[in-house]
Amino acid sequence: MTAPTRRRRMLDLTIEEHTLSLPLVWGNPQDSRTIDVFAAVVSRDGGEDLPYLVFLQGGPGHEAPRAFHSPAGPAWLDAALTSHRVVLLDQRGTGRSTPVGDRDLERGDDAVAELLTHLRADAIVQDCEAFRQHLGAEHWSVLGQSFGGFTTLAYLSTAASSLDRVYITGGLSTIDRSPDEVYALCYDKMREASERYYRRFPEHRDRMRRLVDLAASGKIVLPDGEVVSPSRMRSIGSALGTNDGWQTVWSLLEHDPASNAFRYDLAGAMPFDGRNPLYFVFHESSYASGSATRWAAERVQPDDFADDASLFTGEHVRREWTETVPAFRPWRGVALALAEHEWPSIYDAQALRQSGARGAAAVYVNDVYVPVEFSLETAQLLPEVKLWVTSEHEHNGLRSGPVLERLFDLAHDRRVR
């Protein structure tokens, strides 16, 4: 079933809104459950007949950005619209695509956990294919940011013939390393990021230790009532994975911890919150291909991170947060069940080698979320995808700089700007 297309105008942009009713479980005709999947097709005046570029958002668990010109909208959108119509897909379970939220918990933990097993990248690829066919496109291109890059690899593993060019930013995931290996290397990246930060601001090391001590004694309480645990306090280091995230950390550590400013700014700096519970509950599954996660980040924490409270952590989720974070307590049963779920394999190395994929990828040297070492391993499977390996940007480079323009130039053999 297809809902009627709605057309909007936003300055010089035309936005066509499409909603498709699609199978919850692809490939199983015996399962009649469906979900709605939403996408906005954005074009600039005069660009109504340009080829399509579908944007796959990072996460997992985040909806696509909305179509506004910069600075209110995504920094890359104006560049993309010069040569494409842009398809902003709300990945299943997010935004306007039958979003998963607290009200779903009324179904029971087991039912919700089972539902979430059908929201992975392979299913998102099938949704993309349904939209491509719905829009009448024989081929289209993909821009995958972070988890969206993981999804692009799944796309190339199963439906490469549908793709003209692929553009990947901070999303060349490992296809065969375990979650344990990924999170262990991410600890190494966070150690390096921590030391870089303290070289610039050495006085903040003791301040961070004092804050962790305050958290351990239950003296840091957020506006929603969360008694901040030491591990949650240290997770503010996730901001160091973005271009200007050090400013967030610096501002927090300059505040009086007893002040309202500190409490509210700390709440805003938390990398995982209740707005998109999928990001927490579903996060480790994004690195699981043929295995269970079993709280990998928690299990592989190095000894020095246990000994030195000043070392920041990044996207290292903790089981204890299902008890200490009010927004996550209702999701405890779901999170525990998913941690034991044996996720099927999602990538195919041979299919990637044979995909003939063309395009370009930005690989960030200091990426604390998607380690450069594993990105370069995967890149060897895609020889026609040209690499831009850079320390100029962090993981959010697509949102904060002219990254997409650089990738367009590389992919089309134009002189790099």
**Domain membership flag for residue 416:** no
Question: What CA–CA distance (Å, rounded) separates 377 from 328?
Answer: 35
Residues 154, 296: one domain?
no
Of 279, 313, 340, the last residue of a domain is: 340
- Name the DSSP class of 302: -
A 10 A CB-CB count for 348 gives: 17
* Per-residue pLDDT at 416: 59
User: Is 157 found in the same domain as 69?
Assistant: yes
| Packing angle of the helix pair 245-254, 260-269 (nearest 10 deg) | 150
Total number of domains constituting the chain: 2
What pLDDT shows up at residue 4? 65
Residue 270 lies in a domain: yes
Q: What is the pLDDT of residue 1?
A: 59
Same domain for 331 and 388: no
The CATH number given to whatever domain includes residue 363 is: 3.40.50.1820
3-state secondary structure of 30: coil
Region label for 271, one of left (φ > 0), alpha (ψ between -120 and 50) or beta (otherwise): alpha
Residues 143 and 320: beta-carbon distance below 8 Å: no
**CB neighbourhood size of 267 (10 A):** 14
Q: Please tell me whether residues 146 and 190 are part of one structural domain.
A: no
Judge whether 16 lies within some domain: yes
Q: What single letter denotes the amino acid at residue 347?
A: Y
Residue 160 lies in a domain: yes
Which of 340, 363, 378 corresponds to the end of one domain?
340
Q: Are residues 318 and 358 in the same domain?
A: no
Tell me, yes or no, whether 27 lies in a domain.
yes
Encode the chain (417 residues) as per-residue pLDDT tens digits.
577 688 899 889 999 999 999 999 999 999 999 999 999 999 999 999 999 999 999 999 999 999 888 776 788 999 999 999 999 999 999 999 999 999 999 999 999 999 999 999 999 999 999 999 999 999 999 999 999 999 999 999 999 999 999 999 999 999 999 999 999 999 999 999 999 999 999 999 999 999 999 999 999 999 999 999 999 999 999 999 999 999 999 999 999 999 999 999 999 999 999 999 999 999 999 999 999 999 999 999 999 999 999 999 999 999 999 999 999 999 999 999 999 999 999 999 999 999 999 999 999 999 999 999 999 999 999 999 999 999 999 999 998 879 999 999 999 988 755
- DSSP secondary structure letter of residue 2: B
In a domain, 59, yes or no: yes
| pTM metric for this prediction | 0.96
Residue 38 within a domain? yes
Which helix (H) or strand (E) element contains residue 132?
helix 121-134
For residue 210, the model assigns a pLDDT of 98
With both helix axes pointing from N to C terminus, report the angle between 204-216 and 245-254 in degrees, rounded to the nearest 10: 70
For residues 112 and 169, membership in a common domain is answered with: yes
Q: What is the pLDDT of residue 86?
A: 98
Together in a domain, 278 and 384: no
**Euclidean distance between the first and final Cα of the chain, in Å?**
45
Predicted confidence at residue 75, as pLDDT, reads 86
Do 156 and 66 belong together in one domain?
yes
Answer whether 9's CB lies under 8 Å from 15's CB.
yes
Residue 239 tokens read as: 């901001």
**Domain containing residue 161:** 6-176+347-411
**Distance between CA 296 and CA 289 in Å, rounded?**
13
Q: Are 325 and 275 in contact (CB under 8 A)?
A: no
Q: Which three-class secondary structure state does DSSP give residue 331?
A: helix
Q: Are residues 367 and 289 in the same domain?
A: no
Residue partners of 19: CB distance under 8 A and separation at least 6? 2, 3, 36, 37, 38, 96
Residues 107 and 135 in one domain: yes
Kindly state whether residue 1 falls inside one of the protein's structural domains: no
Say yes or no: 192 and 327 in one domain. yes
Q: Which residue among 307, 340, 373 closes a domain?
A: 340
Residue with tokens 């063309």, as numbered in its chain: 358
Residue 227 buriedness (CB in 10 A; 0-12 / 13-18 / 19+): middle
Residues 190 and 130 in one domain: no
